[in-house]
Every structure is written in C-alpha cells, then in structure tokens.
Amino acid sequence: DIQMTQSPSSLSASVGDRVTITCRASQGISNYLAWFQQKPGKAPKSLIYAASSLQSGVPSKFSGSGSGTHFTLTISSLQPEDFATYYCQQYNAYPLTFGGGTKVEIK
Amino acid sequence: QVQLVESGGGVVQYGRSLRLSCGASGFTFSSHAMHWVRQAPGKGLEWVAVISNDGINKNYADSVKGRFTISRDNSKNTLYLQMNSLRLEDTAVYYCARLPGLIWFGLSIDYWGQGTLVSVS
C-alpha cells in the first residue's frame, strides 16, 4: 500500500497568513493527488485534484503543487472559514490512501 | 445540484449485519463510479470500497474484504454497502462519494454525501 504522510499534523495561524501543508507519498504517484477540507461535524469537501487543479467553485486562494512523491497545498491568505482539517489522498493505485490530516487552528 | 444522501446507519451488535444506502440526485447516476469512505470517531479518513458505473468492477479495502459488499441499482439511483460480521472497529461515519466519470481508477472524488453513523456495540 502507498503510505501518505502529511506535515505538520497541526498548525496555528492568523487571519491573512499564508499557509503551506506538505504531503509525501511512500512511492511515486505521478500527479494522482487530491486535497480535501473538512470542518468539524461536516463531510469532507473536495478542493484539488490532479495535484494542482481546483475543483469547481473552489476559490483561487487555494493552490496545489507537486508530482511524484512530494506535494503541497497552499492557502494564500487565511480567512476564518478556512480553519479546518485538510487531508491529502493518492488515487494512483488501490487501495486509495489518505494522509493523517493537518488541523489548521486560529492563533 | 448534485446530492448524495446516506441512510441506514445506527447502533448494531457485534457480529450482526447492516445495509447502508446512498440516494443520488442532480446528475446521471449511471454515468459515475462511486466510493464508500469511512471515518472513525476522532480519526482520519479511510477508503472502504469502489464500484464502477455499471456495477461490474469492484474493489475493497483489506479491512472489509469478505465482509462488506458494495452494489448499486442504477434504476433507483442508489448505492449500497452491505456490511456483515460487523466488528467494533467498523464504528464510523460512512460517506458515499462520487467520481466525476465512468471509470473507477485515475479519477478523484468530486462530491461527498453528508454521512451516516454506524456504531457497533
């Protein structure tokens, strides 16, 4: 199975900050990497697919990059609605696997 | 708009069975592969199973293989997850999720349902 490792597991940031989350795959997955946002008590929301493509309706403050084994999610200017847990997921091979999540909290 | 509504969750005894349903609307259900993904209380996301748009191709996580069966009825726009021999570690919120096309590989989830809680006691 492909292991996905996210870092950090949590971070504290202020409104307006630029935030970057890293996701590493245990083997190369090309660009078959997605990012999801989840708020407490809610279903996940799809943000990014193919490592850097925004899902429909997702604001451009979210951006993704990377290929192979190293990926990043960047939020350009953190807003109150962005405080949530973010997950990466590889879909290069089954079983699909998720990273452990990064909780973004208010400083 | 795309809607996925799960149902069928609840409290169930260890070793018993439960069937989850996911009703789809707002899109042509028969043109999309579908996933089940679960989340144990306070934990991360875990992929469970996938089914192709026509129901022919299926794949399962090792943790549920042989106990869970994914299926669909395209005439009813409904996805199912039959869960047998339930274990304590199956306790989770179960989400159905849509893939944006026919194929069940190489595509990323675009829409999620709101989830249904299964508690095994």
CB B40 within 8 A of CB B98: no
In tens digits, what is the pLDDT along chain B, a chain of 121 residues? Answer: 999 999 999 999 999 999 999 999 999 999 999 999 999 999 999 999 999 999 999 999 999 999 999 999 999 999 999 999 999 999 999 999 999 988 888 899 999 999 999 999 9
Tracing tokens 């274990």 back to the chain, one arrives at: B87
Q: What pLDDT score was predicted for residue B102?
A: 86
Q: Which residue of B has its CA nearest to A51?
A: B108
Interface of B with A (CB under 8 A): 35, 37, 44-47, 50, 59, 61-62, 95, 105-115
User: How far apart are alpha carbons B118 and B102 in whole angstroms?
Assistant: 29
Largest Cα–Cα separation, chain A: 38
Give the tokens for residue B31: 């043109």
pLDDT digits (tens, 9 = 90+) for A6-52: 999 999 999 999 999 999 999 999 999 999 999 999 999 999 999 99
Q: Which residue of A has its CA nearest to B113?
A: A43
- The alpha-helical segments, DSSP class H, found in chain A are none
Q: What pLDDT score was predicted for residue B27?
A: 98
